């Protein structure tokens, strides 16, 4: 599955901070308005919990990150999960300093996605194999709720 995230929609519950995140100091949304995430290599941990690889592209950098998700519902197919991104891998901001105002390099990211059939034939299958219990859907689109 490939998800595109409108970086300008990042919400930290602080408008001034969110506005600053749009600048060249961080995401530079004028130049790179989308972050992309490709989810693959999912493996069941137990029950409805899965471990997966997330190919994350932010700005002009890409990195594969391990993360987890769980199935919340099957109709519509919905998942929620988390992963940790090292923002320095993507050239976002300056390195953490001793200053209490400095943000950490590791940023926890949580997500929720509802998957629905799509006519976008260029979308990729959600997984190399369909986890047991998942409905057969070859193409999906996702609505992602972002919160840093």
User: Three-state DSSP class for 77?
Assistant: strand
Closest CA to 48 of 77, 84, 16: 77
Average pLDDT, the chain: 80
Structure tokens at 8: 């300008």
Which H helix or E strand runs over 140? strand 140-144
pLDDT tens column, 37-90: 999 999 999 999 999 999 999 999 999 999 999 999 988 889 999 999 999 999
- Residue 15: CB partners within 8 Å, gap ≥ 6? none
In angstroms, what CA-CA distances link 40 with 63, 103, 125? 13, 30, 9
* Domain spanning 2-144: CATH 2.40.128.110: yes
Could you tell me the sign of the dihedral formed by the alpha carbons of 79, 137, 76, 123, in that order? positive
Q: Where are the domains of the chain?
A: 2-144
pLDDT tens column, 11-31: 888 999 899 999 998 999 999
pTM: 0.72
């Amino acid at each position: 599955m490939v998800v595109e995230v409108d970086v300008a929609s990042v919400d930290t519950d602080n408008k001034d901070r969110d506005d600053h995140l749009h600048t060249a100091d961080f995401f530079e949304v004028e130049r790179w308005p989308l972050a992309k995430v490709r989810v693959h290599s999912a493996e069941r941990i137990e029950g409805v919990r899965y471990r997966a690889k997330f190919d994350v592209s932010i700005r002009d950098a890409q990195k594969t990150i391990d993360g987890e998700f769980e199935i919340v519902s099957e109709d519509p197919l919905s998942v929620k999960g988390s992963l940790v991104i090292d923002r320095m891998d993507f050239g976002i901001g300056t390195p953490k300093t001793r200053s209490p105002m400095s943000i950490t390099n590791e940023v926890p990211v949580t997500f929720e996605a509802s998957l629905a059939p799509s006519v976008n034939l260029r979308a990729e299958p959600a997984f190399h194999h369909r986890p047991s219990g998942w409905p057969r859907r070859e193409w999906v689109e996702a609505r992602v709720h972002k919160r840093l």
